[in-house]
Amino acid sequence: MSAGTPKSLPSSGQKSIQEICHPLSAEESILSPSPDLGNTISSTGEKDLSLPNGNAVDTSSPASSSSLLNRLQLDDDLDGETRDLFVTVDDPKKHVSTMETYITYRVSTKTTRTEFDLPEYSVRRRYQDFDWLRSKLEDSQPTHLIPPLPEKFVMKGVVDRFSEEFVETRRKALDKFLKRVADHPVLSFNEHFNVFLSAKDLNKRQGLALLSKMGESVKYVTGGYKLRARPIEFAAMGEYLDIFTQKLGTIDRIAQRIIKEQSEYLVELREYSPVYSSWASSEEELQEPLDGVAACMANCCSGLEELTEEMSEDFLPVLREYILYVESMKNVLKKRDQVQAEYETKLEAVAFREDRKTPVPTDVEKCQDRVECFNADLKADWDRWQNNKRQDFRQLLTGMADKNIQYYEKCLAAWESLIPLLQDKQEARADTN
């Protein structure tokens, strides 16, 4: 965090539209222009927005700065090598105190960004801290899609919160969460994110009031306005999300069912080995082959056990994460609707005024401002989300295929190694005959 007292937010008093800065520029940290494309947005109007090549940017209308943002975001996506922020979550440790027992994770950061005082950080955080970060992000960046966290509550009797598998699954999800934030061209510059990564102690009660201007304004939008119609593109998003979440739910149920059936199959399969062994003990010629079959069966059992475990630990959590993601996205869409509704209502009220000479009231203009910003942010984030979703699912489903292939290969190897054992004896007998 840069030195300097937190500035108070610029008031939303009487200012012409030209003077209203892009909401994002109200970020507390002094965001000095950095050489990479990721950020050239300066703070509170003290610096001009400038493109990397030094040209000033026309910030007279939010629309244009949003489109700038779009361009920047796209460029960011294309050029992976300009990444200047790397975050990892690892090394879970159990802490036991008189009050409670909990797990902390090490959060390591490597960065060249000047928003950070140091190039490297290593701090310990617990789930609560991640939760804090996420709600801060939601509040301060309401127009953006915030990645989900793994589920907060676990039924104490059912799941062992301190088991290796649970902790590992959670760690992976927390790691993914931070990586997604770090990769986001806007969220990664969020002040709270910075604090989260760098502060020794995360004293949440300080109540860093670091809401963006947008955040402030959206926060106070009441739900009292009725939206006439969602614009087509957002309606399409809403529909997509509805169907998508349905399909994800179905896939989750199918995967769970498969795991259940496989577990039951495993229980029965385990019965084979002892029976074959017992048979072997009453045979002479057939003893070795039967023992071989018993060993084979045991191998197949352990392979199946592995497969079921991996599907439980790797596949299901990611699926569930996406379901949570979609839920939070639907909420963002709703917020957008509210912002638009407010604007439309206020605009209508103005239209009915008979006195046409008074200029359009500022607050209506501000509403329009907000709507357009929100839409722009959301659209950009949507495209980015679609892209990430595609990659994530490609990886997830390929992983599922791989696990199954591994299982069958293990079984195949076991059975193939049995054949020479069985056939040699056959040939040996034929020779001696």
Binder of another protein out of 81, 100, 201, 285 (CB under 8 A):
285
Regarding 326 and contact with another protein (CB under 8 A), the answer is no
Binder of another protein out of 275, 351, 360, 428 (CB under 8 A):
275
Binder of another protein out of 97, 98, 282, 358 (CB under 8 A):
282
Regarding 162 and contact with another protein (CB under 8 A), the answer is no
Regarding 262 and contact with another protein (CB under 8 A), the answer is yes
Regarding 324 and contact with another protein (CB under 8 A), the answer is no
Distances (CA, A) of 424 to 289, 290, 314, 334: 10, 14, 42, 72
Binder of another protein out of 24, 41, 68, 251 (CB under 8 A):
251
Regarding 3 and contact with another protein (CB under 8 A), the answer is no
Regarding 257 and contact with another protein (CB under 8 A), the answer is yes
Residue 358-397 contact track with another protein, rule CB under 8 A, x = bound = --------------------------------x--xx--x
Residue with tokens 């109007």: 45
Binder of another protein out of 20, 69, 137, 293 (CB under 8 A):
293
| Host H or E run for residue 122 | strand 120-126
Regarding 302 and contact with another protein (CB under 8 A), the answer is no
Roughly what angle, to the nearest 10 degrees, separates helices 164-183 and 316-351? 40
Regarding 55 and contact with another protein (CB under 8 A), the answer is no
- Provide φ and ψ at 250, rounded to 5°: -60, -45
User: Which one, of 167, 400, 128, 417, lies nearest residue 299 by Cα?
Assistant: 417
Regarding 94 and contact with another protein (CB under 8 A), the answer is no
State how far the Cα of 234 lies from the Cα of 416, in Å rounded to an integer. Answer: 56
Query: Which residue, 309 or 402, is less far from another protein as judged by CB?
Result: 402
State how far the Cα of 231 lies from the Cα of 337, in Å rounded to an integer. Answer: 9
Nearest distance, CB of residue 77 and another protein, angstroms:
15
- Residue 39 three-state SS: coil
Question: How wide is the angle at C-alpha 211 spanned by C-alphas 24 and 332, nearest 5°?
Answer: 75
Of 140-148, 260-268, 339-347, 362-370, the window that binds another protein (rule: CB under 8 A) is 260-268
Inter-residue contact 48 to 56 (CB < 8 Å): yes
| CA atoms within 13 Å, Cβ hemisphere of 58 | 5
- Residue 242 three-state SS: helix
- Residue 125 three-state SS: strand
Nearest distance, CB of residue 278 and another protein, angstroms:
6
Nearest distance, CB of residue 272 and another protein, angstroms:
6
Nearest distance, CB of residue 333 and another protein, angstroms:
16
Query: Which residue, 9 or 258, is less far from another protein as judged by CB?
Result: 258
How many CB atoms neighbour CB 15 within 10 A?
A: 14
State how far the Cα of 272 lies from the Cα of 266, in Å rounded to an integer. Answer: 10
Nearest distance, CB of residue 174 and another protein, angstroms:
26
State how far the Cα of 389 lies from the Cα of 107, in Å rounded to an integer. Answer: 24
Residue with tokens 């892209």: 387
Handedness of CA 170, 173, 177, 178 (dihedral sign): positive
Nearest distance, CB of residue 416 and another protein, angstroms:
6
| Ranges within 398-417 binding another protein (CB under 8 A) | 398, 401-402, 404-405, 407-409, 411-412, 415-416
Query: Which residue, 33 or 399, is less far from another protein as judged by CB?
Result: 399
> What residue spans of 38-163 are helical by DSSP H?
62-78, 127-140
State how far the Cα of 43 lies from the Cα of 61, in Å rounded to an integer. Answer: 16
List of residues contacting another protein (CB under 8 A): 240, 243-244, 247, 250-251, 254, 257-258, 261-262, 264-265, 267-269, 271-272, 275-276, 278-279, 282, 285-286, 289-290, 293, 296, 390, 393-394, 397-398, 401-402, 404-405, 407-409, 411-412, 415-416, 418-419, 422-423, 425-426
